[in-house]
Amino acid sequence: MKITELALDIGISTNTIKNFIQDFDLELSSCLFPNMEVKDDFEKFARENLEFLQKYEADLADEKSCKQIAKEINQPVEKVEEIVKKNVPILYENGLYKSSVSKFGIDHELGGNYQFVYDYFGKKTALANRDFIGYRDLYFYITEMLDPFLDEKQALDWGINKPNGIMLYGPKGSGKIFWAKKIAEIIDYDFNEVKTSYIQNAKNNFGQYLTSIMMKQGNKTLFIENFNEISSIKNTENIASISKNDAEDVILHSIHKFTEENLLLVAATDSLSEVDAEVFSPGRFDILIPVFPPNLDERAQMILRYLTSNLVKESVLTQILEYNKADSKPFWLNYASRMKLFSNTMVIDFTQSVKKRLRSKYLKTKNPHFHIEREILELSYIESKSKLTDNYLQSIQYFINEVAAHDYDVFKNRIDQLKFELDSYRIAEPQRKTIGFEHGENGKA
Q: Model confidence over 3-52: pLDDT tens digits? A: 989 999 999 999 899 989 988 888 888 899 888 889 999 999 999 999 99
Residue (of 61, 55, 95) closest to 77 by Cα position: 95
Q: How far apart are CA 426 and CA 99, in angstroms?
A: 35
Q: How far apart are CA 69 and CA 76, in angstroms?
A: 10
Give start-end residues of each CATH 3.40.50.300 domain in the chain. Answer: 162-290
Residue 240 has pLDDT above 50, yes or no: no
Q: How far apart are CA 142 and CA 146, in angstroms?
A: 6
- State pTM to two decimals: 0.81
When pLDDT is cut at 50, 70 and 90, the band that residue 94 belongs to is: very low
According to the CATH classification, is domain 162-290 in 3.40.50.300?
A: yes
Give the pLDDT of residue 426. 83
Give the pLDDT of residue 122. 61
Give the pLDDT of residue 154. 73
Residue 220 has pLDDT above 70, yes or no: yes
Residue 443 has pLDDT above 90, yes or no: no
Any idea what the Cα angle at residue 295 is, between residues 378 and 91, rounded to 5°?
140
Angle in degrees, 0-180, between the axes of helices 296-308 and 344-365, rounded to the nearest 10: 40
Using a pLDDT cut of 90, give the percent of the chain over it: 52
Instruction: Tell me the per-residue pLDDT of 340-369, one tens digit each, with 9 for 90 and over.
Output: 999 999 999 999 999 999 999 999 999 999
Residue 399 has pLDDT above 50, yes or no: yes
Give the pLDDT of residue 130. 54
**Among the listed ranges 89-103, 137-151, 253-267, 296-310, which one has the minimum average pLDDT value?**
89-103
CA torsion sign for 362, 364, 365, 370 is negative
Give the pLDDT of residue 126. 53
- The string of DSSP codes covering 267-308 is EEES-GGGS-GGGGSTTSEEEEEE-PPP-HHHHHHHHHHHHH
Give the pLDDT of residue 232. 56
Q: How far apart are CA 227 and CA 350, in angstroms?
A: 28
Mean pLDDT of the chain: 85
